[in-house]
Amino acid sequence: MAITAAMVKELRDRTNAGMMDCKKALAETNGDMEAAVDWLRTKGLAAAAKKSGRTAAEGLVGVSVDGTKGAVVEVNSETDFVAKNERFQEFVGQVAELALKADGDIDALANMQMASGGTVAEVLTANIATIGENQSLRRTATLSVDQGAIISYVHNAVVPGMGKIGVLVALESAADEAALMGLGKQLAMHIAASNPMALNGDDLDAELIEREREIAKAKAIESGKPENIAEKMVEGSIAKFKKENALLSQLFVMDGKTPVADVVAAAGKEAGSPITLKAFERFQLGEGIEKEESDFAAEVAAAAGA
């Protein structure tokens, strides 16, 4: 397969590896982008890929909380200008409130009636025609607890409840609401910053763990260590990966030394009632979406006949 400059650039953007290393990786993997990422990582030439990938799409992430239930939604647009549009912001806010009843079902949310008339999907279509830019209702999720609190946080909010990273935290407890809100806000800020992949190490995706295991095996083999030592290296690598990517075992960003699980336990003791970090949701705008890049200067020159 012919390796193009665009392929090399994409791989370089994703891994921060050198241009020639990227070209070689693509050649070695016959142009398979994911395999090329793994090839570079095996050679120690790329950092571990996080679940978010490149963030390229625009729009807004919105959150809404009602008692012991919370919802988060992502609505995408082509440019950042739309995110600053009052009509678009009002739409995202209303959709986030409706999402509380959708229970994470994006199709159900799209078919819900809005107060202004018409379904979410119909109003979105009308907005596209009015604003003049393509938009899409991408995803939604909800969290709830029987007793306790749902805490929301938006990093660098454009307007209250809307921004580029939205987080929900579910705390199950009979503790005072003020104590839960304080802890929940700090945990949400930690989640926004550290981007954990799961609550516990055992909850991490099995395919992801197997992929990490294969990469660790390849590194161990290349190191030339004896088989028994290589096996210990692989298991150590997987244990470290789980610890660094599971929320409860991550070191709390507020002090950089205490595991999140210990932070929650200590807060429960101080509040006089056990606190369970039941679940979390983290939406980052455009994660996993690639948006075509264009050379604006080149487009202007071409239009001018240069």
User: Please, are residues 172 and 276 in contact by the beta-carbon 8 Å criterion?
Assistant: yes
Tally the C-alpha atoms within 13 A of residue 158's C-alpha that lie toward its C-beta.
24
Q: What is the pLDDT of residue 290?
A: 61
Buried b / exposed e across 245-254, counting CB within 10 Å, b at 16+? bbbbbbbbee
Q: What is the pLDDT of residue 98?
A: 98
Q: What is the pTM of this model?
A: 0.78
8 part of a folded domain: yes
Q: What is the pLDDT of residue 52?
A: 36
**Burial class of residue 130 (count of CB atoms within 10 Å of its CB; 0-12, 13-18, 19+):** exposed
- CATH number of the domain where residue 90 is located: 3.30.479.20
Q: Are residues 45 and 70 in the same domain?
A: no
Q: Are residues 76 and 43 in the same domain?
A: no
Structure tokens at 225: 């260590």
The Cβ of residue 111 has, within 10 Å, a number of other Cβ atoms equal to 13
CA–CA separation, 96 vs 73, rounded Å?
Answer: 6
Q: What is the pLDDT of residue 9?
A: 84
11 part of a folded domain: yes
192 vs 5, 195, 280, CA distance in Å? 34, 6, 11
**Residue 37: enclosing H or E segment and its boundaries?**
helix 33-42
Q: Are residues 131 and 75 in the same domain?
A: yes
**Which residues in the chain land under pLDDT 50?**
48-56, 294, 296, 299-300, 303, 306
Domain hosting residue 63, numbered range = 58-175+278-284
201 part of a folded domain: no
CA–CA separation, 212 vs 232, rounded Å?
Answer: 14
Q: What is the pLDDT of residue 166?
A: 98
Q: What is the pLDDT of residue 302?
A: 53
112 part of a folded domain: yes
CA–CA separation, 148 vs 174, rounded Å?
Answer: 6
